[in-house]
Structure 1
């Protein structure tokens, strides 16, 4: 019998998850069907109940439903609790639903695939929203030399930093405090660059050999990655690999099989009409 999976979101038509998971299934010889469903937040519980009552094995969850999924799960992984959000629901052998968050490990694995170093690096994260919260635990586990969060509202960065003090020190900063500082790895966790907006970053922010990562992705380089190139970043990448990486982690949680991500990233990049 074919196992069924889906992604819930609103909107959802743009989602590449069905394509990604079909590629993973073909690669690994897994018998599964994967669809997408547009689900408004007010209907999340009803839609999830119906999906699992119909024999569904697992769900991916995208915006704006990750908090709904967090409340829906019977059990949560440590990284889901840290993230305060769930992007993966997995039916367990006893019938209960486990909630996980695979976004952060997806980003870390992508950086490893790119050959980037994280340990002992001075890391700066731009933004203090949910996307950033979701990656902090896996990032801190890589033992960077330091982690700083810069945000337009300093208080929001301070609150976020407080939630991770037991894992490591995070320095909250306002953008005006970046002057005179240099970083080895800068991660854009805002969605602003997709709309052509960029935080006020000093020209000398990047240390020699620095890498810049945008958690968003698009066919053309984001405004942040354009800035990175203009300011001497040695390495640049957008979040397409993170998208595929978080999906691979979900797939492993569901199937206990780890798919190859590089061929899928390459295929998606080609379909976007741009090179990595």
Structure 2
């Protein structure tokens, strides 16, 4: 008899829209692993800890964790990678042989890999504007700093929050020789960034992001970390500002997912087939 499939799931609220099950099914088919991958949305009165305990107690192998539970996932784990600890959040949990649960965060590495392999952007020496000072920005900052751009400026609607996040990462930025600064959104009008990355949810919807059009001046690429949004006002604004190259975060999703898969199972799947199929699904909606 063949071995029972290993069990995985993505946990979030909401989670119905997630493309992770389809993506990991493609990874498993390619690498020859038998897996089951589901979606878990905890009840309104259930904690992430309770949900995760139940999953692993029932023999689950690994979890992907999305909003709003990434900080709780890190707290739940018995051990964690340095980047997850720096970010203060984990997006991947794994059952270990000793009965414990380990954590890592593949979001930042997924973003950097997508920029490099799919969009031809090597961050070394570039100037980057990162919009947002919440958990999404914190999750990718360690990997962005490791890629050694010349400078990263964190911009946020509330400048004090951006300054707080920059302060958290000041030592890590210095370790990698990166100039790390912060400002309010209105101060981005000076422009001069090679890459503008939106890590906020404000880039979607009619209200949009209160970003001066001049912030895009000189940008080679505008990148929205979100995906599957019919009204991406951030990318629309970038287009109006004359940025020729614009993309959403589907590639980041696929690359971070592949890294999670490799963390769980020790096999790194090819990502382009999954990206192409998911891209076609989104564009056909």
Residue 192 in structure 1 maps to residue 195 in structure 2: no
* 2:176 alignment counterpart: none
Query: Is the 1:158–1:172 Cα contact (8 Å) retained in structure 2?
Result: yes
Could you tell me how far apart the structure 1 residues matched to 2:282 and 2:208 are? 23
- Name which of 116, 120, 124 aligns with 1:119: 124
Q: How many residues align?
A: 275
Residue 11 in structure 1 maps to residue 21 in structure 2: no
Could you tell me how far apart the structure 2 residues matched to 1:49 and 1:204 are? 48
- Name which of 40, 43, 46 aligns with 1:37: 40
SS at match of 2:203: helix
Please list every run of 5 or more consecutive structure 1 residues that lacks an aligned counterpart in the other structure.
none
Pairing of 1:116-265 with structure 2 (within 5 A): 116-168=121-173, 169-208=179-218, 210-218=220-228, 220=230, 222-265=232-275
* 1:21 alignment counterpart: 24
Could you tell me how far apart the structure 1 residues matched to 2:165 and 2:219 are? 28
Could you tell me how far apart the structure 2 residues matched to 1:272 and 1:63 are? 21
TM-score by length of 2: 0.91
- Name which of 80, 85, 109 aligns with 1:81: 85
Query: Is the 1:102–1:250 Cα contact (8 Å) retained in structure 2?
Result: yes
Deviation of the 1:205 alpha carbon: 2.6
- Name which of 70, 73, 76 aligns with 2:74: 70
When structure 1 is superposed on structure 2, of 58-67 and 16-25 the one drifting more is 58-67
TM-score by length of 1: 0.94
Residue 51 in structure 1 maps to residue 55 in structure 2: yes
Could you tell me how far apart the structure 1 residues matched to 2:245 and 2:122 are? 11
* 1:195-234 superposed Cα distances (whole Å, 9 cap, x missing partner): 2333333333334462110011125461111111222223
Please list every run of 5 or more consecutive structure 2 residues that lacks an aligned counterpart in the other structure.
174-178
Query: Is the 2:217–2:241 Cα contact (8 Å) retained in structure 1?
Result: no
- Name which of 100, 104, 109 aligns with 1:105: 109
When structure 1 is superposed on structure 2, of 251-260 and 51-60 the one drifting more is 51-60
